[in-house]
Every structure is written in C-alpha cells, then in structure tokens.
Amino acid sequence: MIRRFSFFAYRFSLVGMFLLSMIPLLIKAQQKIDRKALAERHTVVVKTMDPLSSLSVGNGAFAFTADITGLQTFPEYYKKGVPVGTQSEWGWHSFPNPENFMEGESLQEYSLEGKKITYATQPKEPKRKKEASDYYRINQHRLQLGNIGLEIRKKDGSLIEPTDIQNIHQSLNVWKGEINSYFTVEGIPVTVTTYGNQEVDAIAAKISSPLLEQGRLQVRIRFPYPTGTFADEGANYTAEEKHRSILIAASQNSAILKHTLDTTNYYVHASWQGSASVREKSTHYFLINPGKQKDFSFGILFSQQSKKSAPGYMATQSSSETGWKKFWLSGGAVDFSGSTDQRAFELERRVVLSQYLTKIQCAGNNPPQETGLTYNSWYGKPHIEMLWWHAAHYALWNRTDLLEKSLNWYFTAAKGAKAIAQRQGFEGMRWQKMTDNEGREVPSSVGAFLIWQQPHLIYLAELVYRNRKDKTILDKYKNLIFATADFMASFPTYDTVNDRYNLGKGLIPAQECFEAKTTYNPTYELAYWSWGLQTAQAWRERLGLKRKKDWDLIIQKLAPLPQKNGVYLATESTPDCYAADSKYKIDHPAVLAALATIPPSNHLDTAVMHRTYTLVDQVWNWDHTWGWDFPLIAMTATRLNQPSLALDGLFKNIKTNTYLANGHNYQDDRLTIYLPGNGGLLSAIALMCAGYDGSKIANPGFPKDGSWKIKWENLRPMF
C-alpha cells in the first residue's frame, strides 16, 4: 500500500507541477487585448508630400479623403496617387440621353448548348448598339461631391503651391478617427484637425495658425464636374457651363450651397463658430473668410435635402471619437506583439488599417465599388462578385450588423435579377455583376458571363444565420436564397454522353482570361455551386421544408472537378492550362479558391489540391494578379495545413500585394487603392486564427516554431 500510495502521490505531484507550470500560460491566454494600444501603435504618420499617402475619414456611407493639409487643398497634385475625393453612397449622376438609348439595345444573342440566350455585352457594331452600351456603362456614375480645401496666400499675394508646404507632420489616429496635420508656409505654422461624423455625411475641421490673424487663410469649396471616364479623381474643373452652383443662404455663422447637374441636385451645408463671410469667387468656387482670428472651426454636411444643418466641430469630434471607440471595442481583435517573426508588426499594421479602411469605405447600405468612397473605378459601380471580399469579414470578425446593411441591397436588386433569369430562360434569380444601388444590369462583355457571384448571397446569409441563430434570419432571406438556388439548378446543361450536368458553355470563370463561348466546368465554380446548393437545402430543412429534388439532382450529378496528371485544372475545357506556352496562368489563381473560402465540396480531394497548389505556386505569372489573390492562396494553404505557405502567400513580393502607408492595397497607376484586398486580408486572418468548421489546430495559419505569439478575441471560424 505504501508503494502504491507513493506511486499515485508521485503521479499527482507530476500533474500538480504541470498545472502549476501552465498557470502563466493560462493567465496569458485569458488576458484581454489592450485594443486602444493595438489601434494606436498603428497610427499613420506622413512626413512628405506623397500623393499615395492621402488619409480618409468617414462612416461607411460617406468618406472624405484629405491631402497633407488635412483638407483637399491640392486635388490636381493628388490625381495620380490616392485622389482627395468626397463621395457618398447616394451621390449619383447621369449625363443626358438625347439619343434615347434603351437599356436593351446592348443585348446580344448567343447560341449556347442548343439554346439562344441574350447577354448585356459591349458590342462593337452596329454603331447604335455600341453607343447604347457605352451610355449605360457610363451612366449612372458616382459623383465627386465637392472639394473642401484651404486657400492660403504667401506674403507676395500669390496662392501657395505644393512645394510651399514645409515641415510636414501629419497623423491619422484610427482609435479616434482623427487626422492631425501640421505644416508651415514661409515658416508660419498651420495645424488642421479633421474628423468625420459617424451619424451623418459630414466632416469638421479646426484650423489654428497666425495666417488666420493675418487674413491670409480662407476655406475653399469647389465643385468638380464628372469625368465620364473609368475613374473620377474629383479634380475636373472644366465644363463649367454644364452644371450650376449657387449660394442659396448665408448668415454670419452658416451657409447653404446648391449644386445642380442635369437632374441631380444636392446641398452643401456649412456652419462655423464665430463670425465669417461667404462669397462666390468664380464659377463653382466659393470662399469662407473667417476674418482675423486665431482659430477657426467649421463643419460641412453633404445632403440631398435643403433643410439641414451641419454639425459643428465639437459635435463631429464627439461623434467620431465615440463611434470609433465603440467600433474598436466591438467584434474581433488580433494582437501579434511579442512575435519574433520580422513580418509580424507589418501584418498587424495591415490588419488594423484594413479594419479602419473597410469600415469607412465599405460599411454602407449598398455594395461598395472596388475603390470604395475615395474615387471612381468602373464609373463608381459596384461589382457583386467582390461583395464577398468586401464584406464577409464583418461576420467572421463578429461585426455581423455591418454585413447585413449591404445584404439588404439584394431585396432591391431582386426584381432585376429575376428579369435577367427569365430573359435568358432560367429559373429564379440571376444576380447582376456590374450594377448600381438600384440593381440595374450594366453592359459588360466579361461581367455578363460571370456566375461565381451567384452563391455569394447564400454564403453571406449563412454567415449571418450562424452568428445569429435566429429563425427570423431564415424567414428574412429564405425567398432570395431559394430563388438563387433555383437559378443554380436550372443553369447547368445535361451531358447525355457522361450522364452529368456541366457548368457551361457560356460562362467566364472568376479567372477572367477565358472565352465564354468555349469554356465549361471551371473547378472553383463547380465546387462553389455544389456547396451553395447543399447550403440552400439546409435552409429548407431548418424551415421544416422538404429538400427540392431538382436541386439534389444537380448536387448528385454535377460534373466532377476536372483533373489531369494528378492536379486540378482551371477548367475542363483547357486541359493544357499549365503548359509552358499557356495563356491561362494569369489573373486570379481561382482553381485554388475551390479550397479557400469553402470546405471540400463536390468531392474535392485535398491531396490533389495540395499538388495543385504546389504547381500553381511554381508556374503562375504572379505579376498579373490582383490584391485579393494573396489572401486567397493564404486561405487555401491554411486549409492544407501549410501555415508557412499561408504567410508566404500574404507577403508575396508582388506589386499588387503592396500596402501603402495609409493601409490601402495598391495595384497599379489605374487602381491606386483596391479594397477587396483589404477585406480579403481580414477574412484570411480570421481563418488563420480561428480556423474553420472541424479544424482542430489552434491558429492553423501560423507556424508552431515559436516565432509567432498570437492573441485574438471574438473571431469566428470559417465554414
């Protein structure tokens, strides 16, 4: 008995020692992240006049991007960088249509798989069709609402140029949503503090400078004209006769301006402390003269209504600080401090600033455009295949309410989606690709043939339901989800030879370098299609409804993921897609997406995907990719239990994987910011930390060699 007791005592002592040794680790694991310190250690600091380093404030439905002065003093100088724009989700405009073009004039008929189907494309002829297509591609376009800047005169009376701004020190404190700008002009200091209101579409600023007392500093309001081109940087001051700007009311401490462009009208409301005067300097150019005072603070509100008033500086400062504190204390957080991997601080910086940027640019009531609310890309129109990359992270970071705001757009767009499906001879709803707030179908020779946006609604609604677990969510989205699945079940073509259903011909995959007429069975779309239909069936079962037989038929007989030589192909129609001379090794490596955001579907074999990953990594032309491709490959590597590859993917040394000082994902001279990259990064980090359904490894996207110290809170696993 003594020996037995000693043996158990020995075992007990070992257990006790082990538990004691674990106490520091358990305490550390339970420590709360200091979220204020986390946000503020990534305060952006700018010390040069860099057109790529402009900074923004905003609330998700409205954003204001400032240059080095804290306002928009040099819009022309910043045109080739990150433009200094003012945009809202409501600000849209169309040029007149004197030729009475009709939306249907862009439709072209295609013979595909024995059916005649019309698509809204960009025909080159006849001339009338081309011009109609161009018109509806350009219109509506998002407006640059106005330019709020400084007019500063030098001692000789001339206006300052960018080179006159010296001794620069500008910062963006994301914890408060505050831009603080310091600089000198001819040795005289100027300080400007700028905030964005979190409740209304307004900004406020406070200016402190002896230049005010000298009467050499005024606030300028200018109205640009739409460019009608792919981009609109908010600096087009030509075509003065095509729009109208008037001062409709003014007092000692407020003013109202009205801007009219054809049938579009909106108002700019200004208010300030103390006495100031307003005058029209020239067409579309107004000055607020604060007189000779030490400080001058003001607020500017953009609105579609005339009977409004701009919140003052103190009110907007309070709104910003309160709103941002609430944001940072809600949802998820990730802290990499203490890591010895040299990439850890930079990754944490990208994660923090991506949260800030997506909150101000992509958290409105409609899907955002790929350049958010800074400047136009694709005429300011959103691309619905990008909605996952813009917004899925909100649910994964437990900010589901921000995701639900943009999901409501689907109810608005449903009528148009149903009309597209009916016109093409399909069931249910076929979701638009390039569109606008009202859900119009925009002509696009690529977008008209994309299908991978179709399951997005199912995926995003499933995220909402998983986080809420409320029957009201099922009831809210069920009709949209069932109509989405009806289209997905009616779209595939039955292959009598192989007794299966094919996706295509008549599609362009997410990897957009394929010809629609000849392409069929892309790997990613086949996997996503299967997952989407399975999930739609799960919604029916949750609601006590029977599974739909036609959906199950497609699930059971959907073409298998195409393979050759032990790897997955981009599409079944391109068996030599990895050959040395292949033209299909550019654009998104979408074949890897079949195991990135979704679990293995349509009988995906992870061993085959592992070999595919290795091959794609070796042969891909990474210089011809996009910013969200790097989070994509990181997610695939994480699911393949290759955390080192996941991190290498996030840090591939490729131009389109550049993250600027302000946190924006830079692509090229045409797309200087690209928010799907920022949103994709946040989704990838959630997966790399919290894992996915069924994963059993803590922090599966990070190596277990001790180089990464990871604390995270309130993240959700991916499916």
pLDDT digits (tens, 9 = 90+) for 102-137: 999 999 999 998 899 999 999 999 999 999 999 999
Residue 450 included in any domain: no
| Owning domain of residue 73 | 38-93+140-324
Task: Say which CATH number the domain at 45 has.
Answer: 2.70.98.50
Residue 636 included in any domain: no
pLDDT value of residue 7:
37
Distances in whole angstroms, Cα of residue 299 to Cα of each of 20, 165, 253: 58, 24, 11
User: Pairing state of beta strands 141-142 and 92-93?
Assistant: antiparallel
Identify which of 474, 451, 460 has the alpha carbon closest to the alpha carbon of residue 529.
Answer: 451
CB neighbour class for 393 (10 Å; exposed up to 12, middle 13-18, buried from 19): buried
Residue 584 included in any domain: no
Ranges of residues in the chain with a pLDDT under 70 are 1-30
Residue 227 included in any domain: yes
Contact between 66 and 216 under an 8 Å Cβ cutoff? The reply is: no
Spell out where 52-176 has E strands.
55-58, 62-66, 86-88, 92-93, 107-112, 115-120, 141-142, 147-152, 165-173
Contact between 486 and 527 under an 8 Å Cβ cutoff? The reply is: no
pLDDT value of residue 528:
99
pLDDT value of residue 201:
98
Identify which of 444, 415, 445 has the alpha carbon closest to the alpha carbon of residue 430.
Answer: 415
Phi and psi at 392, nearest 5°, equal -60, -35
Residue 671 included in any domain: no
CA-CA distance, 363 to 133, in Å (whole number)? 30
Residue 654 included in any domain: no
* Exposure on the CB side of residue 413, measured as CA atoms within 13 A: 32
Residue 259 included in any domain: yes
pTM: 0.95
DSSP H or E segment with residue 37: helix 35-40
pLDDT value of residue 31:
75
Residue 231 included in any domain: yes
Number of domains within the chain: 1
What lies within 8 Å, CB to CB, of 1 at 6+ separation is none
pLDDT value of residue 233:
96
What's the Rg (C-alpha) of the chain? 28
pLDDT value of residue 662:
98
Sign of the C-alpha dihedral computed for residues 636, 639, 642 and 648 taken in this order? positive
